[in-house]
A and B are shown apart, each in its own frame.
Chain A
Amino acid sequence: MSKTKTYWKGYSEKHQTPEFSVSSQKEFKDDVPVDEFLGSDGIDDLKTGRRDFLKFMGFSVAAATLASCESPVIKSIPYVNKPEDITPGVSNWYSSAYYDGNDFANVLVKSREGRPIWLKGKRDGFTQGGLIPRVSTSILNLYNSSRLNGPSIEKKAESWSNVDQEILKKLNNLSAKNGKVRIISNTVISPSTKSVIQDFTAKFSPSDDSVSGCDIKHIEYDPQSYYGIRKANENIFGKSFIPSYDFSKAKTIVSINADFICNWLLPSKFSTDFSKARKPENGWMSKHFQFESVLSLTGANSDVRVKIKPSEEVLVAASILSLLNNEKPGFNLNDETSDKIQSAVKSLLENKGNSLVVAGSNNPNVQMLVNKINYNLDNYGTTIDADNEINLFNGNDQAIEDFQNELLNGDIDGVIFYGVNPVYSLAKGADISKAISKLDFSVSFSEFMDETASVCKFVCPDHNYLESWCDLNPGSNNYSLQQPLIRPLYNTRQAQENLLVWSGLAVRSNSESQAFYDYMRKYWLENSIGDQSSYPNFADFWNWTVHNGFTNSTIESIPSTLVFNDYPVQISTQKNDLDWEYIVYQKELGVGHHAANPWLQELPDAISKIVWDNYITMAPSDCYKLFGIDTSDSKSAWDGIHLGQEEKAFVATLMVNGIEIKLPVYPLPGQTSRTVGVSMGYGRGVNNEDIGNAAFQADEYGNHLTNANGGLVPIGSNAFKLCSFKNGSLGYSGFGEVIATDERYALAGTQTHHTIMGRTSIVKETTYDFWKDNHKSNQEAYNPKIKLHSHAEGGHSEVDATEYSLWDEHPVEQVGHRWGMSIDLSSCNGCGVCITACHSENNVPVVGKDEVRRSRDMHWLRMDRYFSSIEDDNRKEWADSNKVEGDFDYGKLEVPEENPSVVFMPMLCQHCNHAPCETVCPVAATTHSNEGLNMMTYNRCIGTRYCANNCPYKVRRFNWFNYRDYKKFKNFNPTQDQMARMVLNPDVVVRSRGVMEKCSFCVQGIQAAKLEAKKEGRKIIDGEVMSACGDACPNDCITFGDWNDPESKIRDVSGSDRAYQALEEVGVKPNIWYQLKVRNIDEDLAENVLSDESHSENH
């Protein structure tokens, strides 16, 4: 028999000292306070000198090298039963569709060995190739390791069968006592899902009154609501609907606070349509007026931008209407706004019947005015199609307000949440949370234990969209299909299947259950959805629809005649004691679904270039006043609010009806004075809800920040708290107070300068009228070649700068291939899809906020945003001051004006044929290929960074850390997550620390296309090779191809009248051309051309 022995590791354990019992609870020792140790004076006295340190370092490196000689055994696991259409190492493409209640897009998804890794917009279907960053990065959401793995009851994991039983029990109980049950979902655009919900409702609330049953109501709810449009149409045309808008046909566009390029209604389509009308070669260009408060992406792309306050939206619309009716608008608007309204009206009238007026407001009054304007301009039937409705955003604010009141009054017995998170996205979220937790029956279908799910009794996690079958009907005629790209990663079930199972219409099987799929097929067959008649049988039709991703219904809709009803509109000239106005706007992050998506968080905001943060936007002049900056000199005033690595942002508090939001302030040129903007979608996970590690703030060591209670600190604040119901609709703006605080907060931006600082050879632009007059005869007038002075022939002559070079010609012309790219600045609207597409295609590391602050962002492609101005004071000042030697300050060129115009310029490695980086590399790690590529060989690079110093475009990125292992990046770098690392592209290496990296022109794609051509024994077809950025670009701004193919499109555009090369005077002979930007404004740019000449004279 053995004796019972006690083991201990030390005396403290044996005697169970208090210190031991504390420390035994921790897995790791407290951090060693390195700062104190390093900061102590004693460090100077230490015997280990720098040289010794280096010796030890050298030794340990040698030791580590020797130790690593033993190679690890690498495992390889082939399929047991290989699917016929998968070949390891070859990508498959599947069409699908993205829909999350806020965005819709037809997409084409790239799958490798069964893992979706990249997506782009599908060039047909409803959105015609349209894509926005939210959809582009959505693929990473699939691999979020915080997704729920299985259902739970009161947060305790349960099996699906138990959950089913419990839920049925509750439902039957509720039926017995005629309980009130509400299904709250986002707008359901899936016909089959609607039918499932109807079946479920019918099962538990029979229409037969004699039978007891629940009172079930399905309420659709959109956090970013468009109820105002539906309500306005109901009042004016007697029908609650959203028509489809065609920005590609509109010759004059007037937008009142609608950011349709990135966020309003259906940006994935509107952005593309808008761009189509921005190519001067069409023979016409749309003219775009934007009236807005916060400088949005749409405002940045407009020809005329007018700063208004949110409360003036209605006045602007009313003024336009009055002017159209030949009345004198008697509204209190400032002179500039009134002027611009007049020129807008003039332009609208010139293009009567081909213009478009839209408004972003959710206020039915504004939308009714807009309807009247459009009706007045005969736009219905041309740019506005009332017969082809957009089915998105069917949310009824009134109904959701009623639901909120019922819930808070305790009148509701049960609730089911599907695709919505009202605890987060409604202003009274905290109260709603309490009310839900009191309910006996509450179900959430959320993929995460989010704000709403965590107070629900039952959580039945749904599949990700890339794991589900679903049909989507985004617009009247279009039926798109979502098809699963991967088996469910977790123990989840599709929400529709749950409802079917609970209604007794399906039996639960394994995770690959086809219950809803079968239901959907049956529904399509029975309701003859889509173009079934063109196919011999349903199976054929179905397979082709899955293949194409959509079908268009063939039923000819009879054009309805709109009956116009001149519904009276209340034009309230709101007066308020508070003189600040706020507006809650949507930006890249959307309404908060993607808060934990590191790709999206690290995508710089299109205008502010800030990453990983939420902030208050404020006019610089307001900042000066609010924070007491000395404004005697414009330069020093601007410096006072400058954000940089050392200069932190001011922090202000926005107070609205007792609700406080404290955020850093971003001085935004173009912001209307006395207004502030706060973006929605931030501040997720206030109560530590597990929605993904990247949704929370991390310190400079990569650990999550914690608040006083030990909870995690979300990124930004929840601006939905300010969006309360106003007269039956959700309001996103209002009056408030802004109070300065003494605090400072570090914001991380990828671009800290603002204007092009006088270097006009980077961005060239002209006006449409000027271009039209000169593009055949006098290109030099708007696209001047940069000249150098030559004395070669004795006298003085001017020679094209490109004729001089330090190097011999690089033999790429007409040799083999020569890959070239052209970027059209005129149709590029800066949306940033190219950045996210590049990010995921090339395994670009996510570095986090702290590293971005140190200017160590890794984007291979960046979107430079330059503020400029037609009456460019700075440039004039520069020209003037340049006359007096020594009296010139480049810094002054940094100060953008109050309402600047904006240029976006995608900047990536220019693959110079005379690349300055190549000549300075001591180890020949960056060299030139015979195909014109500037190659970067990571395994040869020793990290001297000479190349980055020598690059005139600053597009080389140094890989500072081992991002996939170093703990600093554990919370947001996808390579550090078992799940998220599945998103990596296996054709591109994950670079390690200490090497320089940069755009490779997607050489993996070039090589693959060449191989395909070789295998098929043919030459490469033009258009076959495309870089990831160009492939994803919804607006076809990027042309890529083999310049040596005389038939190629790139050869054609590289010689066009708008083509120029950035900084061509440097003589590096890039393989990238830009097509200069054309704006449709009346003022001519003669002044600018003049200053360009003075520029070159000073060389």
Chain B
Amino acid sequence: MVNKLIKFSVKTTLTLVLAFTAFSSFSQEGEKLFKANCASCHNPVKNATGPKMQGVLQKWTDAGEEELIYQWVSNPSKLYNSGKSKMAKAIWDWSPTAMTPQGHLSREEVESIFTYVDNYAPPVASVGAGGLATGNDKSNEADSSDYWWWIISFILVFVLFAILGVRRELSAAVAAKEGKEIDPKSTFATNAQQWFLRNWFVTMLLVVGVALFSGVELFGRAYQLGVYEDYMPSQPVAYSHKLHAGKMGIECKYCHHSAEKSKHAGIPSVNVCMNCHAIVHEGPEYGTEEIDKLHKAAGYNKNKQAYNLDEFGDRIEKPIVWNKAHNLPDHVYFSHAQHVHSNTANIDCRQCHGPVQTYTLGRVSTIDEVNAYAATDDGMERGLIQLTKPLLTMGWCIECHNKKEIDLTSSGYYEEIHKRIKLRADVNNKIFEDDKVTVKELGGWECAKCHY
């Protein structure tokens, strides 16, 4: 039923998308520009460091300053100082922060941003996200029910022994009454032994059954070793991706900015947080409590809006010790740059990290969540692939390497490789058999590509 619903909604959306292709391409441009230039301070529908942007254009138009807004965007202080705009004064007084001038944006670009913002609809909690919440709860339930199972089993075993004891007493009494000789050595153990010997076939079945069951169970459990799905360690600061990436729509690579340059995506350094939190001192959920921890780490005095310095003029800093959520074994070399750079695999972060905008702390997603997200419109648009193996396992890596295609015409590097492959068609015809070249076919399954 649910599936049908999803399919239906997907279809509808697709039709809608097709209908508004022209509009959406304009809006896509706007989205890109918004995220690159505005999103760190503005949210389309909520006040953040800057005011919410939806309807702003209308407000200025209403105030008769439709043309001035473009001047404002390109240089706010100039417009304010000129004194010819009431809106500019209102905003200036509203926010303690001066807006960064965006003079590099052309008028068309700013227009496309406004178009995007005005047509922006906050993401409704998607089916995937809903499933996620209950999924989490379920796993917790499973944990607690395990505990109950043990208690019930224990009671059952106790009852069983009690009944057996009663039965034995009774049969002894019957035997005594019938005048049969009672074996004084007879115990539970000997009785059981005799019973098992009599019913050897049942015994065999039992033994085989137990062996099979425990073997399968052991194997299954062993497979779970080192699998970190759904791992969400506690953190010293209650940071929320849901708030920053979800509500505020801040681009992942704004904070994890080394993802395209390095093997590490990087846990953001405190100075990145302070880009906004030098001004934002209060959060929606914890008030000042959590942001104060940031200020303490950075050595920032929010009242003076200045950094504390030691006798030599250096900032008094105290690093934050985070708990790492995504742990790969030491013998695995993984490079974010290889996977997310636009000239390399250009994979969307959510392919491996799932719908991060719905989590609070850093957390390892599960394959089900990723697949659910991949099935959404957004996921399909981003080209996410559905996989089966648990996240952050080697099976999952190579599964993707087997499915993911490489565009051999995309860049200079692959062009050269393509040229060379074609030189030896006899050896390489297998690669082109199915009209697509996967990572695996170029050696993505080879050990020393990741292990060294």
- The answer to whether A815 touches B331, judged by C-beta atoms less than 8 angstroms apart, is no
Q: In the complex, what distance in Å separates the CA atom of A1015 from the CA atom of B416?
A: 14
Q: How far is the CA of A940 from the CA of B332 in the complex (A)?
A: 12
Structural contact, A76 and B269, CB atoms closer than 8 A: no
Chain B residue at minimal CB-CB distance from A928 = B446
A71-109 interface code vs B (CB 8 A; 1 in, 0 out) = 101111111111000011110000000000000000000
Find out whether the CB atom of B312 lies under 8 angstroms from the CB atom of A76: no
Interchain CB contact under 8 A, A811 and B427: yes
Nearest CB on A from B308, distance (A): 12
Interface residues of B in 347-406 (CB under 8 A from A): none
The answer to whether B446 and A935 have CB atoms under 8 Å apart is yes
Contact B266 A930 (CB under 8 A): no
A569 at the binding interface (Cβ < 8 Å): no
- Contact of A79 with B269 in the complex, beta carbons under 8 Å: yes
Which residues of chain A have C-beta atoms less than 8 A from B344's C-beta? Answer: 1011, 1014-1015
- Report the nearest A residue to B272, measured CB to CB: A82
Q: Give the most central of B267, B420, B428: most A CB within 10 Å.
A: B420
Complex alpha-carbon distance, A489 and B373, angstroms: 48
CA A1019 – CA B413 in complex, angstroms? 4
- Please tell me if B317 contacts chain A, counting CB pairs below 8 Å: yes
* A935 to B452 Cα, complex, angstroms: 9
CB distance from A1027 to the nearest CB of B (A): 13
Please name the residue on chain A nearest to B327 by beta carbon. A74
Chain B contacts with A in 127-172, Cβ cutoff 8 A:
none
Tell me the residues in window 864-899 of chain A with beta carbons closer than 8 Å to chain B beta carbons: none
Q: Which residues of A contact B268 (CB under 8 A)?
A: 78
Contact assessment for B262 and A88 in the assembled complex, using a CB-CB cutoff below 8 Å: yes
A1044 to B410, CA, bound (A): 21
Q: Are A78 and B261 in contact (CB under 8 A)?
A: no
- CB-CB under 8 A from B424, the residues of chain A are 811, 813-815
Flag if A1044 contacts B331 (CB, 8 Å). Answer: no
Contacts of A1013 in B (CB 8 A): 412-413
CA distance A1017 to B413 in the complex (A): 5
Q: Number of B interface residues at 8 Å Cβ cutoff, please give it.
A: 64
- Please state if B318 and A80 are interface contacts (CB–CB under 8 Å): yes
CA distance A396 to B420 in the complex (A): 64
Q: How large is the interface on A (under 10, 10 to 19, 20 to 34, 35 or more residues)?
A: 35 or more
Q: Mark B202-235, 1 if CB is under 8 A from A, else 0.
A: 0000000000000000000000011010000100
Give the CA-CA distance A1000 to B269 in the complex, in Å.
34
Q: Which residues of A contact B421 (CB under 8 A)?
A: 815-816
Query: B451, A929: Cβ atoms under 8 Å?
Result: no
B59: min CB distance to chain A, Å: 38
- B412, A1018: Cβ atoms under 8 Å? yes
Is residue B8 contacting chain A, with contact meaning CB distance below 8 A? Answer: no
CB pair B448–A814 under 8 Å, yes or no, is no
Q: Which of A512, A939, A1010 contacts B331 (CB 8 A)?
A: A939
Q: Which residues in B have their C-beta under 8 angstroms from that of A938?
A: 331, 451
A333 CB-CB contact with B under 8 Å: no
- Partner of A69 from the list B225, B258, B298 (CB cut-off 8 Å) is B225
Q: Which of B38-46, B97-105, B333-341 contacts A (4 or more CB under 8 A)?
A: B333-341
**Interface pair B321/A937, CB less than 8 Å apart:** no
B86 interface hit (Cβ, 8 Å): no
Choose one: A76, A940, A1007; the contact of B333 (CB below 8 Å): A1007
The answer for the CA separation of A73 and B234 in the assembled complex, in Å, is 10
What B residues does A69 contact at CB under 8 A? 225
A1003 at interface (Cβ–Cβ under 8 A)?
yes
Q: Which residues from chain A contact B288 at a C-beta distance below 8 Å?
A: none
B83 within 8 A of A: no
Q: Flag whether A990 is at the interface (Cβ < 8 A).
A: yes
B301 in contact (CB, < 8 A): no
Say yes or no for A651: interface residue by CB 8 A criterion.
no
Contacts known (A78-B268, A80-B297); A933 close to B448, Cβ less than 8 A: yes
Known A88-B262, A939-B451, A989-B452; contact A80-B329, beta-carbon cutoff 8 A: no
Q: How far is the CA of A509 from the CA of B310 in the complex (A)?
A: 12
B449 at the interface (CB under 8 A from A): yes
Are A816 and B420 within 8 A (Cβ)?
A: yes
B267 touches A89 (CB 8 A): no
Q: Which residues of chain A from 101 to 136 have any CB-CB distance to chain B below 8 Å in the complex?
A: none
Pair B319/A77 contact, Cβ less than 8 Å? yes
Q: Does B263 contact A (CB under 8 A)?
A: yes
A402 lies within 8 A of chain B by Cβ: no
Name A816's closest neighbour in chain B (CB-CB): B417
Q: How far apart sit A1015 and B341, CA to CA, in the bound complex (Å)?
A: 7
In the bound complex, residues from chain B placing their C-beta under 8 Å from that of A40 are: none
Is B315 in contact with A1044, judged by CB distance below 8 angstroms? no
A80 x B317 contact (CB < 8 A): yes
B269-308 contact mask (Cβ, 8 Å, vs A): 1 or 0: 1111000000000000000000000000111000000000
**Given A813-B424, A814-B420; 18 other pairs, CB 8 A cutoff:** A73-B233, A74-B324, A74-B327, A75-B321, A75-B324, A78-B322, A79-B270, A80-B297, A80-B298, A80-B299, A87-B258, A90-B258, A933-B448, A989-B452, A1003-B448, A1004-B333, A1013-B412, A1017-B412
8 contacts between A and B (CB under 8 A): A82-B272, A88-B264, A816-B442, A935-B446, A936-B447, A936-B448, A1004-B333, A1018-B413
Report the 10 A-B pairs with minimum CB-CB distance, sorted nearest first: A89-B262, A935-B448, A1017-B411, A1019-B416, A82-B269, A937-B447, A811-B427, A1018-B412, A80-B317, A79-B269
